[in-house]
Amino acid sequence: MNGRRVWAIFVRHWHATRHNPPEIFEMFYWAFLDLLIWGLLTQFLEREQVDLPVPVGLLIGAVLLWTLLWRTQIGIAWAFLTEVWSENVVSLLASPIKASEYIAGAMLWTLAQLVVGWTAMAALAWILFRFGVFELGLALVPFMAALMLFGVAMSLAVLGLVLRFGHGANMLAWGLGGLIMPLAAVYYPVAVLPGWVQVVADALPLARVFEAMRTVLAGGATPWDELAAAFALDVVYIAAAAAFAHRMFLTLRRRGYVTRYV
């Protein structure tokens, strides 16, 4: 992998974004909106002294962690879609940049966006609602890593679908997270799901991470075994998604689907 090519992809998206105020606005808007909605709901529940078996602060914690996953997933997919919309796909495929280098550059750009956007979001959670992400303790780092890794897997799956089906699959860049969210048990325990859905949820690393988060915020010990299982599942999903995206890329070249982007 050529580091200069990876950095070139990063710089390309940096210049495209800094000259696009609506994209900068979008980087913060949805995350802040979710934080305000769930933060205000949390304040309402506290004011009404609702008797809950878990601390209401977990709603804000869930928003913060979910944003990590969602922004990771949409960031890498968005990077490729900007190439589609700018009609730059053919030039990109004709360049010496490898698929792995492009994805690495897109991941680096997504990470930079996350550092800026999520830090601002975490600061706003403290300023407005007195919720500190460090209440999760040392478990915060593995929580973040496990969710971001699954976000990478989701973005690779979306990339493969866009390569295979063209513009018709663009909406999955935004919609796939919404489809997964009910199974992820972000704001409620897995136990409230129907029995067969619980089986599906257990096969995803997300539900394990959010269940672990609720355990920690409720004052329990960090369930490291659940986090280990989440990371193992992440590896499986990333490997499968990468293989799928690579297969779709080869199909695009073999069948001439690149003409969709001309």
Identify the sign of the CA torsion 91, 93, 97, 102.
positive
- Residue (of 226, 236, 206, 238) closest to 65 by Cα position: 206
- Residue (of 80, 245, 242) closest to 161 by Cα position: 245
The pLDDT assigned to 43 comes to 75
- Return the higher-pLDDT residue of 261 and 77: 77
Tens digits of per-residue pLDDT, 103-147? 787 788 878 877 887 788 788 888 877 776 676 677 778 888 888
- Return the higher-pLDDT residue of 69 and 230: 230
Q: Is 261 a residue whose pLDDT tops 60?
A: no
CB 242 within 8 A of CB 104: no
- Return the higher-pLDDT residue of 4 and 183: 183
Backbone angles phi, psi at 28, to 5 degrees: -105, -30
The pLDDT assigned to 188 comes to 82
Q: Give me the DSSP letters along 189-211.
A: -GGGS-HHHHHHHHTSHHHHHHH
Buried b (16+ CB within 10 A) or exposed e, 235-259: eebbeebbebbbebbeebeeeebee
Q: Find the range with the poorest average confidence among 93-102, 120-129, 208-217.
A: 93-102
To the nearest 5 percent, what fractions of the chain are helix, strand and coil? 85, 0, 15
Tens digits of per-residue pLDDT, 42-78? 777 777 676 655 566 677 777 888 888 887 877 777 7
Tens digits of per-residue pLDDT, 146-167? 888 888 888 888 888 877 776 6
d(CA 12, CA 106): 10
Sequence spans of domains, the chain? 3-261
For 118, the token pair is 């999520």
Q: Report the percentage of the chain scoring pLDDT > 90.
A: 5
pLDDT, mean over the chain: 78
Number of C-beta neighbours around residue 26 at 10 A = 13
